Every structure is written in structure tokens, then in C-alpha cells.
Chain A
Amino acid sequence: QSALTQPPSASGSPGQSVTISCTGTSSDVGGYNYVSWYQQHPGKAPKLMIYEVSKRPSGVPDRFSGSKSGNTASLTVSGLQAEDEADYYCGSYAGSKNYVFGTGTKVTVL
């Protein structure tokens, strides 16, 4: 049950794109199409942004997209906006009804 690996930080100017990686193993990210991404603003609860690798819940802008290759998943935020500045966590089903989160990435809008 080791945490998935994310870069500690990422940044971009308004209008630009930023991509965050999430690296796991064949027992979690690589083994299932149950990768999610969560956005968390300071002092707030996490919010689901992407589920099942690339699906967007209702109400999430299409600027947010997800993908996966092997044991690494990615979240891309296109057309960065000030309100996108937040912490982002990936999460993956890890088998045997266990769940594992990533280490988290702080996204800064320059």
C-alpha cells in the first residue's frame, strides 16, 4: 500500500497547459482502469475531477482531461485559469477493495 508518485509541484501561466503524472505499479494504476483525479483547494474537501482514467463528472470543465499508459496516469489542465490553482491528487483502486492515493501535486498559476 505505497502511495503513488506525483511531482510535488507544477506551474503554468494563464491559458497554458499543465500535465501532472501519477506513477504506480501493475498492482494499482497499471492493473485497473480505476484511476481518479481529485482537486483540493486550501481548507476544502477534495473534489472529483476525473474518474475511470478519462471520464469527467458532470460540471467539470472539459479543460480537464485524463489518460493512462502502463503504470503511469496523467492529468492535463488546458487553458489554465486562476481558479485551477490547487492541490491535485491521483487515486487508484489497488485490488482487494483497497485504494491508494498519490503524493499530491501543487499547481500554481503564474
Chain B
Amino acid sequence: QKEVEQDPGPLSVPEGAIVSLNCTYSNSAFQYFMWYRQYSRKGPELLMYTYSSGNKEDGRFTAQVDKSSKYISLFIRDSQPSDSATYLCAMRQNAGNMLTFGGGTRLMVKP
């Protein structure tokens, strides 16, 4: 079993839809959680960064962490075709540790 699991998709939604992307993990010591967005033929771009449990909102994006369930989510409101990309979750135990990445979910937002 992988340490971080992420549905590879592809997830196809119409423009304007609310998108929910999720990751589950097995290591309860993870405390720092990130979401990266990767456009085709580009490097990953840090999108959201959260520490421990709770929610964090940034514009149309909301990151949610539920440590009791070992489950993190990224919500995208009013999705746009420009949101079409692969979304990677990543996490680590503390600031000094390496990141463990999920496999990525490919999202397609259709106009």
C-alpha cells in the first residue's frame, strides 16, 4: 500500500462546477500538507500549503485537512478551463523531512 493514495482520474467536469480532489494517507505523523498544480509539460507549482488540521482558503481554492481520518481535500469553486491540470498532493512530518507525493489527479474542465 502506498503511503499517500490519490485517484489518478481523469476527472472531467463542466465549467463552473465545484471540484473536489482528495488524498488519503497512512502515516499519522504527517503535519504539513500541500497541493501542487502541474500543467502539461511544466513543473509543479505550489498552490496551497496547510499545517495540521483545518481549512485554508485562497480565492477559489480551499484546502481541508482531517487528520483524524487521514484525509485531505482541495476544493475548486467556479472551475475554469484554465484549471485543467494534474493536481498533486504532498505531505511531510516536519519542516526538515522530505515530501511524500501522491500520484496526482488529472482534472479536465470543459467549457
Do the two chains bind?
no
Interface residues of A (CB under 8 A from B): none
